[in-house]
Amino acid sequence: MAATTELPTLRELVGPNRWGQQFPHPPGRLRLLGDVRSIKIGGPVLSMLDWPDEIWPIVQFQAFRQRFVFVGNAAVTAELCDESRFQKVLTPGVAALRSFAGDGLFTAATGERNWRLAHDLLMPAFTRSAMQNYHPLMLDAISDLFTFWERRGDVIDVAPDMTRLTLETISRAAFGEDLGSFERDTPHAFVSAMVAALKTGQRTGGLSGLPGSQALSALMIRANARHQRYIDTMLEELIAARRQRGDNGETDLLAIMLSQNAAREHDVLDDRNIGYQILTFLVAGHETTSGALSFALHHLSQDTELLARAHAEVDSIVDSDAEPAFEQVAKFRLLRRIIDESLRLWPTAPGFSRGPIERTVVADRYDMSPGDWAIVHLPKLHRDPDVWTDPSRFDPDRFLAAEVKKRPAHSYKPFGTGERACIGRQFALHESVLLLARLLQRYEFEPADPDYQLAITERLTLMPSGLRLRIRRR
């Protein structure tokens, strides 16, 4: 359908100075606060699932002067995922992270020079041969986790321990460094600085639309300067030391980036951007995967029949005293479905934003122009009742091949879409399945508190809170 001048544009409706309303919105909107009362402070993403079904699939949310459009079904998401019409757009929240991560892959706009250069440079880091090199690093980190558990006793604190594991895995795979997560009670100084800088970026993004937000953001960024300097200095020293040492046969992500960069005559990345890429992978590569693993372990612990099936699959593929080989990981099909279903119910990166390349019409009604954008709300998309039967129930068999073929192509998007989808998704999936296989091979487990009800913390990602399991050797 061609765009028509009678249709309201998303820019007009989302812009900070327009109070007119055409989109459905949550009930109880106030002139100054907007729709802030319709969400839970500290849990805005999942509280949107409580909005009335009749206002979806396209909803406008207003927070003070800032307006956002959320999409929550497969049909409209399919339009936004059309690469010939739409591309990634940096929302205010993501753009604010540039004070921390610069123009790394996640925070760069698609049209920026360094995004394309870095994307092409990093592709060899996620080939099959590269994944084979990461496999033993993953096994070593898992072994360190098990040693850590055996020192601590039979009750494990799931989310923090999965974060320890995934942070160690990505740091060793990214730049060959052990951050000592299993030997220390307090985080490595680099991790503390990274968390502080990340929180600053998130908070400045959250201020968008508030009166005086620019001044407040500038103050917060200045207050965080010490942490940012520490991060920048450590990355600069890491890259300089690797350059000085030369090629010693390392196969980590930094080695691949430096060798690929050196092979180019033109269009090279400077060391600052290479540092941004390493930082991006540290943040994205451990937060999202640790959440997915934590949710998977929760659901396994709640379903004794599913847990028995998972144990049986592992026992049928790998000997009890052997570590899974790289080629065996793809054979753990039930474990992969458990991860997929965990990411359906609890997509740890809960949304992605899209904007039009040129003027177009969405859902046969809304005119969008370059500069407009909408956010795909993944928890809502993954519960679309037109696609998912009994959508709130955890059922890994939704991802049997025959079931997957029945569903619309864009009904499940935990890693984003198109060329801006997560470049490290195969790394994350391999790591997740491998951890489940090793854990099931070694342990029985159950809830430490039989009355535990799943609680979720929203930060950059979704993460279970207070989840503890009791483990015992098989």
| Catalytic residue numbers, as ranges | 288, 415, 422
Q: Is 81 annotated as a binding residue?
A: no
* 3, amino acid identity: A
Cβ neighbours of residue 429 closer than 8 Å, sequence gap 6 or more: 336, 339
Instruction: Give me the phi and psi of 185, to 5 degrees please.
Output: -90, -25
Q: How many CA atoms lie within 13 A of 120 on its CB side?
A: 11
The Cα–Cα gap between 365 and 439 comes to 50
Q: Are 254 and 242 in contact (CB under 8 A)?
A: yes
CA-based nearest residue to 75, from 56, 50, 54, 100: 56
* Residue reference for tokens 């859902």: 363
What are the tokens at 102? 């610069």
Query: Considering just the CA atoms, what is the radius of gyration of the chain in Å?
Result: 23
- φ/ψ bin of 38: left (φ > 0), alpha (ψ from -120 to 50), beta (otherwise): alpha
Chain center to CA of 429: 12
Cβ neighbours of residue 29 closer than 8 Å, sequence gap 6 or more: 21, 35, 62
The Cα–Cα gap between 48 and 274 comes to 37
Q: Are 256 and 274 in contact (CB under 8 A)?
A: no
Alpha helices in 90-188 (DSSP H): 92-96, 98-101, 113-122, 128-152, 158-175
The Cα–Cα gap between 257 and 255 comes to 5
SS3 call for 455: strand
CA angle 345, 338, 407 (to 5 degrees): 60
* 375, amino acid identity: I
DSSP code of residue 30: B
Cβ of 420: how many Cβ atoms within 10 Å?
Answer: 21
Annotated binding site for heme: 422
Annotated binding site: 422
